[in-house]
């Protein structure tokens, strides 16, 4: 449903659009904003001042121009030829996180279950959401500590690990559509699945925030669980080298890492892009990998696994921009 958010700068019904209060960066190297630490430039990057400013920025971009929204850039590759249009950088901007006190317009809690709601904006790091929940004696969100991205990215791809997924906890989302309209939407307006989220109607929107319902419980135990999960992550993933997390989704009843390793691809490299020797579903930048190196390696892994096992791996990472 649409929610009439009051714009602080100018009445939404009319009047001249305000001067944008964020700032543009031209031909900005995107390697500064993606966790692979490589890639081309953004023709125009924009860091909004706040949500109002973001809304006006979207309204000001002509309909024929592309808009790309980037959080932590932890599942993103920007091709070496760069990206046209406008890249909006949200991490550190939409950073509100709080217990939600209002009840009007939000789904009620399940009967007999003691719960609370957290509202988190898209720019909040997912591990911060996990810690915030635990520090307020809310349980069930510990898995977010293992997601190296923002709340916006976690919502957009239904990120999950350790047996839990983001949309299991969501009761409502706030989105911004291509016309610059803010909307509150319920989960039944989306088709969701494993690493997949799609609005049922054909409309381009970006997630601005979400309301998460968690059960009240033992916050100290939750914090210990988070510590354990982080130790497991450090032990099993190549966090000492630039990477974008899991490159491929796990096929049904199998693991992408197992298939890749079965094909003898652990350690295989193109240029300075390498299939991690620690975790085969990670591709790491050994130091000077280009985006082209990484994309070629992704394609090589896809083709090799399909040839050997008849399974076509599906990418988790997004690739945008122009080939060089």
Q: Mark whether 299 is an active-site residue.
A: no
What's the chain's average pLDDT?
93
**Residue 104 pLDDT level (bands cut at 50, 70, 90):** confident
pLDDT at 273 over 90: yes
In this structure, whether the domain defined by 23-89 belongs to CATH 3.40.640.10 is answered with: no
Mind listing the pLDDT tens digit for each residue in 278-316?
A: 999 999 999 999 999 999 999 999 999 999 999 999 999
Fold that domain 97-236 belongs to in CATH: 3.30.465
Closest alpha carbon to 56 in 176, 155, 201: 176
Written as one string, the DSSP assignment of 223-285 is: HHHHHHHHHHHHHHS-TTS-B-S-SBPPPTTS-HHHHHHHTT-TT-EETTEEE-SS-TT-EEE
> What pLDDT is attached to residue 10?
36
Given CA atoms 304, 34, 130, 168 in this order, what sign does their dihedral have? Answer: negative
| Residue 144 · residue 127 · CB < 8 Å | yes
Residue of 37, 44, 131, 195 marked active site: 195
CATH number listed for the domain at residues 256-320: 3.90.78.10
- Which of these is catalytic: 35, 74, 246, 276? 246
Q: Is 195 a catalytic residue?
A: yes
* pTM across the whole model: 0.90
Annotated domain spans of the chain: 23-89, 97-236, 256-320
Name the percent of the chain lying above pLDDT 70: 94
At 8-33, the pLDDT tens digits run 433 344 455 568 999 999 999 999 99
């Amino acid at each position: 449903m649409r929610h009439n958010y009051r714009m602080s700068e100018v009445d939404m019904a009319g009047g001249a659009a305000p001067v944008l209060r964020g700032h543009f960066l031209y031909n900005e190297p995107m390697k500064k904003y993606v966790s692979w630490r490589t890639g081309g430039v953004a023709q125009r990057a924009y860091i909004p001042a706040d949500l109002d400013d973001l809304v006006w920025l979207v309204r000001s971009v002509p309909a024929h121009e592309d808009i790309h929204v980037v959080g932590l850039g932890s599942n993103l590759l920007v091709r070496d030829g760069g990206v046209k249009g406008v890249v909006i950088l949200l991490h550190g901007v939409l950073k509100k996180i709080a217990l939600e006190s209002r009840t009007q317009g939000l789904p009620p809690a399940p009967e007999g279950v003691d719960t609370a709601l957290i509202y988190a904006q898209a720019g909040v790091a997912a591990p911060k959401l996990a810690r915030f929940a635990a520090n307020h004696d809310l349980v069930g969100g510990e898995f977010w500590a293992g997601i190296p991205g923002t709340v916006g990215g976690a919502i957009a791809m239904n990120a999950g690990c350790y047996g839990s997924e983001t949309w299991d906890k969501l009761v409502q989302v706030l989105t911004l559509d291509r016309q610059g309209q803010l909307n509150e939407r319920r989960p039944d307006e989306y088709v969701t699945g494993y690493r997949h989220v799609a609005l049922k109607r054909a409309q381009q929107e970006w997630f601005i925030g979400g309301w998460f319902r968690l059960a009240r419980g033992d916050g100290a135990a939750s914090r210990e669980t988070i510590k354990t999960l982080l130790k497991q992550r450090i032990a099993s993933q190549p966090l000492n080298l630039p990477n974008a997390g899991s490159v491929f989704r796990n096929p049904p009843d199998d693991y992408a890492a197992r298939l890749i390793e079965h094909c003898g691809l652990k350690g295989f490299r193109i240029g300075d892009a390498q299939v991690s020797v620690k975790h085969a579903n990670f591709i790491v930048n050994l130091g000077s990998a280009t985006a082209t190196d990484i994309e070629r390696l992704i394609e090589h892994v896809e083709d090799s696994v399909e040839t050997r096992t008849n399974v076509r791996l599906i990418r988790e990472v997004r690739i945008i921009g122009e080939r060089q």
